[in-house]
Amino acid sequence: MSRNVSKAMLMAAGLGTRMRPLTDKTPKPLVEFDGKPLIDHALDRLEEAGIEEVVVNVHYLADRLEAHLKKRKTPVTVISDERDALLDTGGGVKKALPLLGDDPVLTFNSDSVWVEGYGSNLRDLIDAFDPDRMDALLMIADAVRTVGYCGRGDFTMDPDGRLTRREESTTAPYMFAGVQVIKPALFKDGPEGAFSTNRIWDGLIEKGTLYGQRMQGLWMHVGSPEDLRDAEAALKET
């Protein structure tokens, strides 16, 4: 494992609009999947991968989320408070920079769940990150090996692992699976307020420093109650 990846940021501030009515009174990271909250699935993965500290951003029903996290001893969790304004993925990381440090970090969408194949996808991702060649390494899933809505796919990948966007009116074989290793410094020059990590990725694609690694196993997109039911049904079949 790379000694330079010991921290992660767990993206947990979203409104969970598509998950309504389950999120009317519950923050999406606390919606249960397979008997435990989504955020605990993510934290368990991070702990298994050797991550020591996790920054968690909070906004919607933040008090409930903070209360839940206080019950957990490991990994250590630190709150990045976005109660005043929802900042999207890029703005959220930029706000959290003082907590993240300078070394590459994992960012992890709290609704990203999967069934492992061989080994550990997170450890493999960390081990594959080469800071001399890469500014970001995304965990990507085969679109045909996902549960839940995947649209037309997100990326194509060349033999060296470099990613490019799906062209308009076409399909692409790979989906972003909600996890990446990325250099925090990339967010320093982002705009004030809310912005998407897509803005960062577009610049890296132009530089040729956005890479992908295909995950092993089955990735499950749980954006809606229907997706959640489909994912739990798929889990029982594995």
Residue 232 pLDDT level (bands cut at 50, 70, 90): confident
Q: What is the pTM (predicted TM-score) of this model?
A: 0.90
Residue 1 pLDDT level (bands cut at 50, 70, 90): very low
Inter-axis angle of helices 197-207 and 88-100, nearest 10: 80
pLDDT score for 168: 75
| 2 lies in some domain | no
| 1 lies in some domain | no
CA dihedral 126, 130, 133, 138 (to 10 degrees): -10
| 186 lies in some domain | yes
Owning domain of residue 59: 7-237
Looking at the structure of the chain, the number of domains it has is: 1
pLDDT score for 231: 79
Residue 150 pLDDT level (bands cut at 50, 70, 90): low
The DSSP code for 77 is: E
* Rounded-to-integer distance, Cα 233 and Cα 133, Å: 40
| 208 lies in some domain | yes
- Decide if pLDDT at 146 tops 90: no
pLDDT score for 81: 92
| 106 lies in some domain | yes
Residue 38, C-beta contacts closer than 8 angstroms, at least 6 positions apart: 28, 29, 30, 31, 32, 110, 111, 113, 222
| 219 lies in some domain | yes
pLDDT score for 165: 87
* CATH number of the domain enclosing 42: 3.90.550.10
| 135 lies in some domain | yes
| 189 lies in some domain | yes
Beta strand 155-157 pairing with 163-165: antiparallel
* Rounded-to-integer distance, Cα 12 and Cα 89, Å: 10
> 80-111: per-residue pLDDT in tens?
999 998 899 999 999 999 999 999 999 999 88
